[in-house]
Structure 1
Amino acid sequence: MRRLLLAGLIALATLPAAAQTASGTRPLDLETIMADPDWMGHAVENPYWSVDGRDLYYSLKRDGSEVHDLYRVDPATGQGMLLDAASRAQAEGPAVYDRAHRHAAYILHGDVFLVDLGSGRRTQVTRSPQPESAPRFSADGRSLQFRESNNWYVYDLASGVTSPAAVLKFTDDPQARKPDTLEQQQLDLFKELRENKQEKDAQHANQQELAAADPTRAPQPFYLGDKIQPVDTELSPDGHWMLLVTQPAHHDDGKAPYVIHYVTDSGYTETEDARTYVGRNDPAPQSIWLLDLAAHKSYPIATDNLPGIKDDPLKAIRAKTVAALEQAGKDDEARALKAPDVRPVTMYSMDSGSAGIVWSDDGRNAALEFLSIDSKDRWIATLDFSKHVLVPQHRLHNDAWINWIFNDLGWLKDNRTLWYLSEESGYSQLYVKPVDGAAKALTSGKFEVSEPQLSSDGKWFYLRTNRTAPYSYDVYRVPSDGGALSRVTQYGGMDQFVLSPDDTRLAVLHSSAYIQPQLAVQSAQGGTPRELTHTMKPAFTAHAWIAPKIVQVPSSHGAGVIYAKYYGPAGENDAAASRPAVIFVHGAGYLQDVTESATYYQHEQLFNNLLVQQGYVVLDLDYRASQGYGSAWRTAIYRQMGHPELEDLLDGKAWLVKNHGVDPKRVGIYGGSYGGFMTEMALLRAPGEFAAGAAQRPPADWSTYNDQYTANILNDPQLDPEAYKISSPIAYAANLRDPLLINHGLIDDNVLASDSLRLYERFVELHKKNFWISVYPLERHEFEHADSWYDEYRRIDELFETWVKPNPAP
């Protein structure tokens, strides 16, 4: 949910005078820390290697603008430059290479470019208003494939001719349509009509014959009917096949609520559609078609042979809900909950936005990744092209829900061995599996593996993992045929990496608590890195920011250790007199904030510094549901959101009382999005535990959130209404007794402002006291304006100063 993009929180102008502290510097104030984040520094973003591997490119946000400039740096010398418009026109994009390494291709400003690596000659392949993407060389290296939306094109390197790989028509074939009764009667009666039809049929047959014999013609269209619409297409590298993902053409997504704009350019109130509520309609089921481009034939691919697809993992919950509906006389609603004979599926959506389909380099194998719409299963299958059927290769089942990350897959260079990530051990690990053999784990342990990159020679996997500690991430590598997992980088706060074209070097983005991602380069085998950028503003880095101390909070509920970041004064006396404290709750639910990297929550981290300056101590916990700790930690909240997490937050409070002299009656809590939800749950499910709470853009009723996130955790509300009831703050409104401040953007199209307004009305009707709401007419879920940030945190600061900081009356 609320993920403050690093790019947006990482800008660097000059530090305002009020923030000049350190030895003799001025104390922090809200005006400074909530100012436009340009004063802090910019994150280095999207690094990639030049085509020849000699330089690196990266993006950097421009001060005072959302424009991102492109830079180029020589990793050998560290010399870099900002590219002006003319230089940018001659720049390159992230490149792909043919197997012989004679040509490279890339996308620049949405167009396709080809480079002859021997001569360095650059050819512009397209110049079109629609952006192209996904360039890839054919298996034989003779052509370049690329796509525009769902349309694939093939550029022949020898002739320079571009042609569509296939023409898809989502209508019925006009020539194949049989005449209805009246039309047949007309043909039977009138000779001229029969002769006209015969002539049309003859011309159509002639065109098909010519097209089949003449490769210089555009391909004949595939007529696929008007009952389906395309979701994605994936062309095989040999150009023989295309896989088409479809969904019903007229799927009803359900009624969309409105977002209302009160402050507008026109001066009139305006509306826009938001996302559909969970349970108003399930996501559209998807189907697979195999198109034989050479024979011009199409085959629907059935999914009913996937193992377990006919099971009902929600059988027990379904039976309970159906029985309750039948007892209440709601027979129609009970019948609507009948389990399908075969569970519908969707394709996994990859980072590129395309479906979970990966072709082997030679085009002779394809891996497809399916998710059940009920979120309980993930399948990986290959295709038997001769029989036009799926061949199941792997099933991952979770009684709660399958993770929305850790689903990467691909092929080894032998074109016959799959690699994939799986949580089957309880943690994301890397596996390989021949299509006709058994799977083998390349990594194992109680740590998470992500972002695997196979070297171009196919010998090594490079990956991101927190093997040394849950909060510490670095690049490791492992041989693709099995062997030791070895550490390559030594940052602890490694964020992203890109392998060089020759496999010898890594471009690495790394960060730390107050340093946004910076670019370095080092040997792919390890060693000392060369730092290439330093984009933080000197005045910001000169401030004596509090280094968050990573601590382990023991769970009193059998969960083991809860990792947390503690902010306290330097040289504090743990046995000092009782003091006030604040617990910050990160958003997203499934997000990891306790790491050695820069935080998503830059504003909040600075606010935590201000709170310490004002006499508080602050704790930020990776409660259950957070990322980085395995699937059991993630799924502990299944059907009970806000319950295990609250146990962890209360354990954090107890730890503060025991170890840092905190007064248990003077602990505040705040957070945004999921953190706002947890703030409300803390005050409403544990009244009296927190002196006050501030909830920013909080979901107060999960039945009004979206399907993609919510149904994973709570199932559909019609099927599992009890899960929604026990997980929604609005159900506990009668318990409010501690001061609660709610802040919400009125044009929030993620967590709608109606959530907070509905909860506010419940408090009004229940005659509650000490609750307030502040609304921001020009803010969405991610606040963008410094004035809004300031106003929001001024109110939070005043709330804590009034209700948390003062010593309680004797």
Structure 2
Amino acid sequence: MRKILLAVLALAVTSISFAQQSTLSVEYIMRDPSWMGTFPSSPYWSEDGKSIYFRYNLAGDPADSLYKIELNQIDQIQKVQWNEAKDSRGKSGEYSQDKKSRIYREQNKLMLETVKTGDVEILLEWPDAMSNPYFLFDESKIAFSSSDNIYVFDRNTGKASKVTNIKSGSKQSESSSSSSSGTTKGFVESENLALIQILQERAKKDSLSKVYRESIKEMHEEEEYAFYTAGKNLSNLTLSPDARFATFSVFKRTSNPPTAVPDYLDASGYTKDLRARSKVGTEPSEIEIGFYDLANDTVFYLNTSTLEGIQDLPDYVKDYPDKEWEVKDRDVYLSGPYFSPDGKSAVVVVRSLDNKDRWIAQVNFENGDLKTLDRQRDEAWISGPGIGWTFSAGEFGWLPDSEHIYFQSEESGYSHLYLLNVNNGKKTALTSGEFEVFDPFLSKDKKSWYLTTSEVDPGERHFYRMPVMGGKMEKLTNMTGENQAYLSPDESKMVILHSYSNTPPELYLKDLNKKNSEVIKLTSGQSEEFKSYNWRDPEIVRFEARDGAMVPARLYTPDPAKKNGAAVIFVHGAGYLQNAHKWWSSYFREYMFHNLLTDLGYTVLDIDYRASAGYGRDWRTGIYRHMGGKDLSDQIDGAKFLVEQQGIDKDRLGIYGGSYGGFITLMALFTEPDVFKAGAALRSVTDWAHYNHGYTANILNTPEEDPIAYRRSSPIYFAEGLKNHLLIAHGMVDVNVHFQDVVRLSQRLIELEKDNWEMAVYPGEDHGFVEPSSWTDEYKRILKLFNNTLLD
């Protein structure tokens, strides 16, 4: 006990002594973030375009609440009362093509609203639960679902008709359902029937009635087609715009074993197991898409065997020459169908289970065969901005002409926006260049695109307008940093959520009808306490990696008089994430910690290493089949840059990061032991075979199919290389990177008789820490590690 107390005292003294060189301290910056002020998030417009709603906290509430700014009083921020908050987003529902009308459901009533006036008409009162009302191509007709079938309401006749006949079970089981007369009677029932004459008469009458009902039913079934689900669970039941097809999805979910994460702090006083994700290599869910042909009374399912290259094997199989690989149709995920506005054509987006291919394919309405319109093949994995994942099609849709579809693709090496004519197959790139496109959408009149891009700089985001068939992009934002734009309903104004490297987000208003109009700042949420410190604007630099690539990074440099010759490299998490940019970082605590380190004389480098977002396909896939390859060598080359160009002592280098950053820290200390004298690995993956399927299988394939990739990518296989000082920190109820990861690694380090490491555990914390006390404890330990090892 005395040793523990002394250790805690030493930790506190170390923190205090070095914090005296700065107005910041770990305790100060790791408090509840509310000390920094209140910053807006999630803005949206009222339906009439007269108010802007957003999340905010002027009143010091336990959590952010809904606030608004009315355009006729832009200098006043008003807290929204609960009854207004409930209705602030307006009614959900579907709009007509001209946006003048909206259909929605209110309990079991079908409602039609005239948008301009707000007048509401009850079209239909339905006896059962209804859902998902929407206009058909002929907008006098409205489809909705009820009792697992589709109905169409005709506004001209005022009548609703059932257009599908879907029944659960199978036809055979329905016709052969048994009654009590067909089963063996027990003693009591038999004796009762024998003794009581009226019961005999009733039983005979019931039997005759049943025979009559069955005969009528059989006659009816001969005349009316029914589709039996045969035990399948149907979802996404939708009618095509021309009312020819009803489409549905059938999911077959697999039962993969979850991992139990013990919670030692459950309120009951007992250990409680939290159910967490399965590990990589699990069986995926399956999906089929069915077409119910209402004209021909048939049902067919989409046939993916006609897709181009459906049997192609990945390139990595060449690394396993002794293994026989079965050539067969690959398993796929399906998204859609997406009908043209007139309903005469439908496409689906298909992804191979190995995520090497994405197809956009047209449906043959006669038999369900698929015709490939576009195939994007990536021997690493399909991803990137706007491209979607698993069952998501990403940015995808039809133009009003019912001839062109739009989508994003990394075909050029960067994610860009494309049009494709489904009639002649002509594909057109609407954007091009060494930048990426984010969140494109059509204007209400369908004549223009609105989109965000990184064309100005990878570290900036700006909002643009562009003609629908392509052409010059008109830049609508000008503030350096990130500009998240939200258009008013009439598209005449936009509210911008803008931030810069050292400035948290604030709201701005711009009038798009006035050329070169200036933005108006709507919020100023920084506290006086936060503004009292001169937060650094880190320099964006690029250093050359060993393969010639220019690696972007944020560089924090101290006052020359304070420079101590030591440096720390920060490794961001998530892998596919960008942090060397010019906007306020989601790593704001780390950003403040880097200001503290710089005050103390450290130089800090924050690298967008290979696999980071924002730099195109080749950067994104640079870690394929080898995590801890180029992503790690970028850190080593960053250290070289610090020594050779920033005057850092090669024996005074530290490294730290969380999640993926923790993984890289372990790989650095285990496989490059002479580069970094100390490292802090936070909530780190230690063995990729124990991480989840959706993320890991894309990058490393699966452990069963590609064990080479897993063994060279997992730190636990290299623990014997530890030479210098290591801090491991992990939450014990982490349901993302499980605590089991560091338990297994610590046992290896014990067996290897390593004695220059320590582990801090946080019993009440998940992957992302919540409690200020946990953040403070963790970062005091990190600071102590660097002060004690890099400054001696």
2:396 corresponding residue in structure 1: 409
Residue of 768, 789, 795 corresponding to 2:754: 768
SS in 2 for 1:665: coil
2:536 corresponding residue in structure 1: 546
Q: Residue type matched to 2:543 in 1?
A: V
Note closer, same or farther for the CA distance 1:412–1:797 as it changes in structure 2 (3 Å cut): same
Cα separation, 1, equivalents of 2:52 and 2:164: 36
Note closer, same or farther for the CA distance 1:521–1:707 as it changes in structure 2 (3 Å cut): same
The more displaced of 135-144 and 444-453 is 135-144
Report the CA distance between 1:380 and its aligned residue: 0.9
Greater RCO (CA < 8 Å, at least 6 residues apart): 1
Cα separation, 2, equivalents of 1:84 and 1:622: 43
Note closer, same or farther for the CA distance 1:45–1:311 as it changes in structure 2 (3 Å cut): same
State the identity as a percent: 36
2:292 corresponding residue in structure 1: 291
1:95-110 matched pairs, under 5 angstroms: 97-104=95-102
Q: Residue type matched to 2:273 in 1?
A: T
1:519-534 matched pairs, under 5 angstroms: 519-524=507-512, 527=516, 528-534=518-524
Cα separation, 2, equivalents of 1:53 and 1:497: 15
Note closer, same or farther for the CA distance 1:108–1:768 as it changes in structure 2 (3 Å cut): farther
Q: Residue type matched to 1:270 in 2?
A: K
> Is the Cα–Cα contact under 8 Å of residues 578 and 663 in structure 1 kept in the other structure?
no
Cα separation, 2, equivalents of 1:564 and 1:283: 37
RMSD of the TM alignment (CA)?
3.9
Residue of 51, 55, 59 corresponding to 1:55: 51
1:309 corresponding residue in structure 2: 310
> Is the Cα–Cα contact under 8 Å of residues 475 and 494 in structure 1 kept in the other structure?
no
SS in 2 for 1:722: helix
Cα separation, 2, equivalents of 1:109 and 1:200: 36
> Is the Cα–Cα contact under 8 Å of residues 245 and 288 in structure 1 kept in the other structure?
yes
Q: Residue type matched to 1:728 in 2?
A: S
1:517 corresponding residue in structure 2: 505
Deviations for 1:557-595, whole angstroms, at most 9, x for unmatched residues? 22x21111111235x47xx97611111100000001111
Q: Residue type matched to 1:373 in 2?
A: L
Cα separation, 2, equivalents of 1:151 and 1:550: 58
Q: Residue type matched to 2:33 in 1?
A: P
Note closer, same or farther for the CA distance 1:339–1:537 as it changes in structure 2 (3 Å cut): farther
Cα separation, 2, equivalents of 1:127 and 1:608: 62
1:642-657 matched pairs, under 5 angstroms: 642-657=628-643
Cα separation, 1, equivalents of 2:681 and 2:150: 47
Residue of 422, 430, 433 corresponding to 2:409: 422
> Is the Cα–Cα contact under 8 Å of residues 385 and 415 in structure 2 kept in the other structure?
no
Cα separation, 2, equivalents of 1:505 and 1:343: 48
Report the CA distance between 1:68 and its aligned residue: 4.2
Report the CA distance between 1:799 and its aligned residue: 0.9
Cα separation, 1, equivalents of 2:777 and 2:526: 26
Report the CA distance between 1:796 and its aligned residue: 0.8
Note closer, same or farther for the CA distance 1:158–1:198 as it changes in structure 2 (3 Å cut): same
Deviations for 1:752-800, whole angstroms, at most 9, x for unmatched residues? 0100111111000000021111111111111111111111111111111
Is structure 2 residue 552 aligned with structure 1 residue 563?
yes
> Is the Cα–Cα contact under 8 Å of residues 539 and 555 in structure 2 kept in the other structure?
yes
1:569-718 matched pairs, under 5 angstroms: 569-570=558-559, 572=560, 579-718=565-704
Report the CA distance between 1:499 and its aligned residue: 3.0
Cα separation, 1, equivalents of 2:767 and 2:147: 29
> Is the Cα–Cα contact under 8 Å of residues 51 and 94 in structure 1 kept in the other structure?
no
> Is the Cα–Cα contact under 8 Å of residues 406 and 450 in structure 1 kept in the other structure?
yes
Deviations for 1:203-222, whole angstroms, at most 9, x for unmatched residues? 3644896xx7xxxxxxx974
Note closer, same or farther for the CA distance 1:689–1:405 as it changes in structure 2 (3 Å cut): same
SS in 2 for 1:445: coil
Cα separation, 1, equivalents of 2:222 and 2:56: 53
Cα separation, 2, equivalents of 1:427 and 1:400: 15
Structure 2: runs of 5+ lacking an equivalent: 1-14, 185-203, 388-394
Report the CA distance between 1:803 and its aligned residue: 1.0
Cα separation, 1, equivalents of 2:233 and 2:209: 35
> Is the Cα–Cα contact under 8 Å of residues 741 and 772 in structure 1 kept in the other structure?
yes
Q: Residue type matched to 1:742 in 2?
A: I
1:306-345 matched pairs, under 5 angstroms: 306-314=307-315, 316-317=317-318, 319-320=320-321, 322=323, 338-339=325-326, 341-345=328-332
> Is the Cα–Cα contact under 8 Å of residues 477 and 483 in structure 2 kept in the other structure?
no
Is structure 2 residue 492 aligned with structure 1 residue 488?
no
Note closer, same or farther for the CA distance 1:478–1:58 as it changes in structure 2 (3 Å cut): same
1:331 corresponding residue in structure 2: none
1:247 corresponding residue in structure 2: 251
Q: Residue type matched to 2:27 in 1?
A: E
Report the CA distance between 1:486 and its aligned residue: 2.9
1:225 corresponding residue in structure 2: 230
Q: Residue type matched to 1:263 in 2?
A: L
Structure number with bigger Rg: 2
Q: Residue type matched to 2:415 in 1?
A: S
Q: Residue type matched to 2:403 in 1?
A: R
Report the CA distance between 1:80 and its aligned residue: 4.0
Report the CA distance between 1:464 and its aligned residue: 1.2
Note closer, same or farther for the CA distance 1:620–1:394 as it changes in structure 2 (3 Å cut): same
> Is the Cα–Cα contact under 8 Å of residues 480 and 582 in structure 2 kept in the other structure?
yes
Is structure 2 residue 774 aligned with structure 1 residue 788?
yes
Report the CA distance between 1:123 and its aligned residue: 7.0
TM-score by length of 2: 0.85
Q: Residue type matched to 1:586 in 2?
A: H
Deviations for 1:687-731, whole angstroms, at most 9, x for unmatched residues? 021111111110000000011000000001011001000000001
Report the CA distance between 1:50 and its aligned residue: 2.2
Residue of 447, 465, 468 corresponding to 2:453: 465
Count of residues paired in the alignment? 741
2:441 corresponding residue in structure 1: 453
1:115 corresponding residue in structure 2: 113
Is structure 2 residue 217 aligned with structure 1 residue 203?
yes
Deviations for 1:10-67, whole angstroms, at most 9, x for unmatched residues? xxxxxxxx99xxxx99801111211111222344233222222333222336876664
1:365 corresponding residue in structure 2: 345
Report the CA distance between 1:308 and its aligned residue: 0.7
1:327 corresponding residue in structure 2: none
SS in 2 for 1:469: coil
